[in-house]
Structure 1
Amino acid sequence: MISALHHVQLAAPPLSEDRLRAFYGGVLGMIELPKPPELAARGGCWFQAGGCQLHLGVEEDFRPARKAHPGILVAELDALAVQLTAHGSPVTWDESLPGYRRCYASDPVGNRLEFLEPTRSTRGPAAA
Protein backbone atom coordinates (compact mmCIF):
# COMPACT_ATOMS: atom_id res chain seq x y z
CA MET A 1 0.00 0.00 0.00
CA ILE A 2 1.09 3.57 -0.57
CA SER A 3 2.72 5.15 2.46
CA ALA A 4 3.95 8.50 1.10
CA LEU A 5 4.80 10.43 -2.03
CA HIS A 6 8.56 10.32 -2.65
CA HIS A 7 8.86 12.99 -5.36
CA VAL A 8 7.18 14.84 -8.18
CA GLN A 9 8.96 15.20 -11.50
CA LEU A 10 8.52 18.10 -13.88
CA ALA A 11 10.04 18.37 -17.33
CA ALA A 12 12.50 21.05 -18.35
CA PRO A 13 14.21 21.99 -21.62
CA PRO A 14 17.83 21.10 -22.30
CA LEU A 15 20.43 23.45 -20.79
CA SER A 16 17.98 25.07 -18.33
CA GLU A 17 19.64 23.81 -15.13
CA ASP A 18 21.20 27.16 -14.17
CA ARG A 19 17.82 28.93 -14.36
CA LEU A 20 16.19 26.10 -12.41
CA ARG A 21 18.86 26.25 -9.71
CA ALA A 22 18.44 30.02 -9.39
CA PHE A 23 14.68 29.64 -8.99
CA TYR A 24 14.24 26.48 -6.91
CA GLY A 25 17.40 26.92 -4.86
CA GLY A 26 17.61 30.71 -4.77
CA VAL A 27 14.04 32.03 -4.84
CA LEU A 28 12.29 29.08 -3.16
CA GLY A 29 15.20 28.13 -0.87
CA MET A 30 15.08 24.42 -1.68
CA ILE A 31 18.21 22.31 -1.21
CA GLU A 32 19.69 20.78 -4.35
CA LEU A 33 20.22 17.04 -4.06
CA PRO A 34 23.05 15.28 -5.85
CA LYS A 35 21.81 12.98 -8.57
CA PRO A 36 23.30 9.49 -8.86
CA PRO A 37 26.06 9.53 -11.52
CA GLU A 38 24.13 7.38 -13.98
CA LEU A 39 21.16 9.77 -13.77
CA ALA A 40 23.23 12.97 -13.66
CA ALA A 41 24.41 12.26 -17.19
CA ARG A 42 20.84 12.82 -18.39
CA GLY A 43 20.82 16.45 -17.17
CA GLY A 44 18.21 18.06 -14.96
CA CYS A 45 18.37 18.66 -11.21
CA TRP A 46 16.68 17.55 -8.01
CA PHE A 47 15.59 19.64 -5.03
CA GLN A 48 14.21 19.02 -1.55
CA ALA A 49 12.41 21.02 1.14
CA GLY A 50 11.31 19.16 4.25
CA GLY A 51 10.06 15.76 3.13
CA CYS A 52 9.16 17.02 -0.36
CA GLN A 53 11.38 16.29 -3.35
CA LEU A 54 10.97 17.90 -6.75
CA HIS A 55 12.88 16.42 -9.69
CA LEU A 56 13.35 18.34 -12.92
CA GLY A 57 14.21 16.12 -15.85
CA VAL A 58 15.39 17.22 -19.27
CA GLU A 59 12.94 16.55 -22.07
CA GLU A 60 14.13 17.23 -25.62
CA ASP A 61 10.65 18.08 -26.92
CA PHE A 62 9.80 20.13 -23.82
CA ARG A 63 6.40 21.70 -23.31
CA PRO A 64 5.71 23.31 -19.91
CA ALA A 65 2.99 21.87 -17.70
CA ARG A 66 0.34 24.59 -17.72
CA LYS A 67 -2.49 22.69 -16.03
CA ALA A 68 -0.76 19.78 -14.25
CA HIS A 69 1.24 21.02 -11.26
CA PRO A 70 2.63 20.11 -7.86
CA GLY A 71 0.80 21.55 -4.86
CA ILE A 72 3.44 22.84 -2.45
CA LEU A 73 2.56 23.59 1.18
CA VAL A 74 4.23 26.72 2.51
CA ALA A 75 4.37 28.93 5.57
CA GLU A 76 4.05 32.69 5.05
CA LEU A 77 2.37 32.59 1.65
CA ASP A 78 2.19 36.38 1.38
CA ALA A 79 5.95 36.74 1.80
CA LEU A 80 6.55 34.02 -0.79
CA ALA A 81 4.20 35.76 -3.24
CA VAL A 82 6.17 39.01 -2.87
CA GLN A 83 9.43 37.13 -3.39
CA LEU A 84 8.13 35.30 -6.48
CA THR A 85 6.88 38.53 -8.03
CA ALA A 86 10.14 40.33 -7.27
CA HIS A 87 12.02 37.60 -9.12
CA GLY A 88 9.89 37.78 -12.26
CA SER A 89 7.28 35.13 -11.48
CA PRO A 90 3.98 36.93 -10.89
CA VAL A 91 1.35 35.10 -8.85
CA THR A 92 -2.32 34.48 -9.52
CA TRP A 93 -4.46 34.13 -6.41
CA ASP A 94 -7.25 31.56 -6.18
CA GLU A 95 -9.71 31.44 -3.29
CA SER A 96 -11.73 28.42 -4.44
CA LEU A 97 -10.19 25.71 -2.20
CA PRO A 98 -11.78 25.73 1.27
CA GLY A 99 -9.31 25.58 4.15
CA TYR A 100 -6.37 27.00 2.18
CA ARG A 101 -5.04 30.26 0.87
CA ARG A 102 -3.34 29.58 -2.42
CA CYS A 103 -1.71 31.08 -5.46
CA TYR A 104 -0.18 29.91 -8.69
CA ALA A 105 3.10 30.93 -10.30
CA SER A 106 5.35 29.57 -13.02
CA ASP A 107 8.94 28.40 -12.78
CA PRO A 108 11.48 29.93 -15.20
CA VAL A 109 10.66 27.37 -17.93
CA GLY A 110 6.89 27.85 -17.68
CA ASN A 111 5.79 24.95 -15.45
CA ARG A 112 2.78 25.77 -13.27
CA LEU A 113 3.29 25.62 -9.50
CA GLU A 114 0.62 25.85 -6.81
CA PHE A 115 1.55 27.20 -3.36
CA LEU A 116 -0.85 26.54 -0.48
CA GLU A 117 -1.03 27.70 3.11
CA PRO A 118 -3.61 26.14 5.46
CA THR A 119 -6.03 28.58 7.00
CA ARG A 120 -6.45 28.71 10.76
CA SER A 121 -9.51 26.43 10.58
CA THR A 122 -7.54 23.79 8.66
CA ARG A 123 -4.64 23.85 11.13
CA GLY A 124 -6.97 23.36 14.07
CA PRO A 125 -6.99 24.94 17.54
CA ALA A 126 -3.46 23.81 18.44
CA ALA A 127 -1.98 26.01 15.70
CA ALA A 128 -4.02 29.10 16.57
Structure 2
Amino acid sequence: MTQEALGYALGGLHHVQLAIPPGTEELCRDFWGGVLGMTELKKPPTLAARGGCWFRGGGLEVHLGVEEEFRPNRKAHPGILVTSLQALATRWEDHGVSVTWDDNFPGHNRFYAFDRLGNRLEFLEPVRDR
Protein backbone atom coordinates (compact mmCIF):
# COMPACT_ATOMS: atom_id res chain seq x y z
CA MET A 1 0.00 0.00 0.00
CA THR A 2 1.22 3.50 -0.76
CA GLN A 3 1.39 6.36 1.72
CA GLU A 4 -1.29 8.22 -0.21
CA ALA A 5 -3.63 5.25 0.06
CA LEU A 6 -2.96 5.20 3.77
CA GLY A 7 -3.86 8.90 4.04
CA TYR A 8 -0.45 10.45 4.71
CA ALA A 9 2.84 11.34 3.01
CA LEU A 10 6.36 11.61 4.37
CA GLY A 11 7.67 15.10 3.75
CA GLY A 12 11.42 14.98 4.22
CA LEU A 13 13.89 14.88 7.05
CA HIS A 14 13.56 17.65 9.66
CA HIS A 15 16.76 16.96 11.61
CA VAL A 16 19.34 14.40 12.64
CA GLN A 17 20.09 13.93 16.33
CA LEU A 18 23.43 12.77 17.63
CA ALA A 19 24.29 12.05 21.24
CA ILE A 20 26.95 13.96 23.16
CA PRO A 21 28.27 13.51 26.69
CA PRO A 22 27.35 16.05 29.38
CA GLY A 23 29.39 19.25 29.36
CA THR A 24 30.68 19.06 25.77
CA GLU A 25 28.57 21.81 24.20
CA GLU A 26 31.57 24.13 23.65
CA LEU A 27 33.45 21.35 21.85
CA CYS A 28 30.38 20.88 19.64
CA ARG A 29 30.15 24.62 18.98
CA ASP A 30 33.77 24.64 17.89
CA PHE A 31 33.26 21.65 15.58
CA TRP A 32 29.77 22.14 14.11
CA GLY A 33 29.88 25.94 14.12
CA GLY A 34 33.58 26.64 13.73
CA VAL A 35 34.84 23.84 11.50
CA LEU A 36 31.67 23.08 9.54
CA GLY A 37 30.40 26.67 9.50
CA MET A 38 26.85 25.85 10.62
CA THR A 39 24.73 28.38 12.54
CA GLU A 40 23.75 27.58 16.10
CA LEU A 41 20.01 27.72 16.75
CA LYS A 42 18.43 28.88 19.98
CA LYS A 43 16.73 25.92 21.62
CA PRO A 44 13.26 26.37 23.11
CA PRO A 45 13.61 27.08 26.87
CA THR A 46 12.06 23.78 27.95
CA LEU A 47 14.56 21.88 25.80
CA ALA A 48 17.53 24.15 26.54
CA ALA A 49 17.35 23.08 30.19
CA ARG A 50 18.37 19.57 29.07
CA GLY A 51 21.67 20.80 27.63
CA GLY A 52 22.99 20.11 24.16
CA CYS A 53 22.88 22.41 21.15
CA TRP A 54 21.35 22.63 17.69
CA PHE A 55 22.87 23.73 14.38
CA ARG A 56 21.56 24.50 10.88
CA GLY A 57 23.32 24.95 7.56
CA GLY A 58 22.72 24.11 3.92
CA GLY A 59 19.20 22.77 4.53
CA LEU A 60 20.45 20.41 7.24
CA GLU A 61 19.62 20.61 10.93
CA VAL A 62 21.66 18.71 13.52
CA HIS A 63 20.51 18.37 17.12
CA LEU A 64 23.16 17.35 19.63
CA GLY A 65 21.50 15.92 22.71
CA VAL A 66 23.09 15.09 26.05
CA GLU A 67 23.15 11.42 26.91
CA GLU A 68 24.38 10.57 30.41
CA GLU A 69 25.83 7.21 29.40
CA PHE A 70 27.21 8.46 26.10
CA ARG A 71 28.74 6.07 23.60
CA PRO A 72 29.69 7.46 20.17
CA ASN A 73 28.02 6.04 17.08
CA ARG A 74 30.80 4.12 15.34
CA LYS A 75 28.58 2.55 12.65
CA ALA A 76 25.23 4.40 12.56
CA HIS A 77 25.65 7.81 10.94
CA PRO A 78 23.97 10.58 8.98
CA GLY A 79 24.79 10.69 5.26
CA ILE A 80 25.16 14.36 4.34
CA LEU A 81 25.14 15.60 0.75
CA VAL A 82 27.84 18.15 -0.01
CA THR A 83 28.85 20.40 -2.86
CA SER A 84 32.65 20.61 -3.28
CA LEU A 85 33.43 17.53 -1.21
CA GLN A 86 37.19 17.93 -1.70
CA ALA A 87 37.07 21.45 -0.25
CA LEU A 88 35.27 20.11 2.84
CA ALA A 89 37.82 17.32 3.24
CA THR A 90 40.66 19.83 3.01
CA ARG A 91 39.03 22.10 5.61
CA TRP A 92 38.56 19.18 7.98
CA GLU A 93 42.14 18.02 7.56
CA ASP A 94 43.34 21.60 8.14
CA HIS A 95 41.47 21.42 11.48
CA GLY A 96 43.03 18.10 12.48
CA VAL A 97 40.12 15.88 11.47
CA SER A 98 41.14 12.87 9.41
CA VAL A 99 38.89 11.71 6.58
CA THR A 100 38.63 8.24 5.09
CA TRP A 101 37.75 8.18 1.40
CA ASP A 102 35.49 5.37 0.21
CA ASP A 103 34.59 4.78 -3.45
CA ASN A 104 32.10 1.95 -2.85
CA PHE A 105 28.89 3.99 -3.24
CA PRO A 106 27.92 4.09 -6.94
CA GLY A 107 27.46 7.51 -8.47
CA HIS A 108 29.00 9.37 -5.52
CA ASN A 109 32.34 10.44 -4.13
CA ARG A 110 32.34 10.14 -0.37
CA PHE A 111 34.34 10.10 2.80
CA TYR A 112 33.80 9.20 6.42
CA ALA A 113 35.01 11.17 9.39
CA PHE A 114 34.36 11.31 13.12
CA ASP A 115 33.31 14.37 15.06
CA ARG A 116 35.39 15.39 18.06
CA LEU A 117 33.31 13.06 20.26
CA GLY A 118 33.74 9.98 18.05
CA ASN A 119 30.39 9.99 16.22
CA ARG A 120 30.69 8.70 12.65
CA LEU A 121 29.67 11.06 9.82
CA GLU A 122 29.42 10.40 6.09
CA PHE A 123 29.68 13.09 3.42
CA LEU A 124 28.72 12.44 -0.21
CA GLU A 125 28.78 14.32 -3.49
CA PRO A 126 27.12 13.00 -6.63
CA VAL A 127 29.56 12.34 -9.48
CA ARG A 128 28.78 14.62 -12.38
CA ASP A 129 28.55 13.16 -15.86
CA ARG A 130 31.50 14.25 -17.95
Q: Same fold (TM over 0.5)?
A: yes
Aligned match of 2:33: 25
Deviating runs (4+, > 4 A) in structure 1?
A: none
Kindly state the Cα deviation for residue 83 of structure 1 after the two structures are TM-superposed: 1.1
1:50 positional shift:
2.5
Secondary structure, aligned partner of 2:33: helix
| TM-score, normalised with respect to structure 1 | 0.92
Instruction: Supply the AA of the counterpart residue of 2:95.
Output: H
Give the gaps of 5 or more residues in structure 2: 1-8
Q: Structure 2 CA distance, aligned partners of 1:62 and 1:89?
A: 21
Please give the alpha-carbon distance, in whole angstroms, between the structure 2 residues aligned to 1:84 and 1:13. 22
Distance in 2 (alpha carbons) for counterparts of 1:62 and 1:32? 22
Matched, 1:91 2:84: no
1:110 to 2:118 alignment? yes
CA–CA distance in 1 between the matches of 2:97 and 2:121? 11
Q: Which amino acid in structure 2 is aligned with residue 111 of structure 1? A: N
Q: Please, which runs of 5 or more residues in structure 1 have no aligned partner?
A: 122-127
Count the aligned residue pairs: 122
SS for the counterpart of 1:63 is coil
TM-score by length of 2: 0.90
Shift of 1:13: 0.5
Aligned CA RMSD, in angstroms, stands at: 1.0
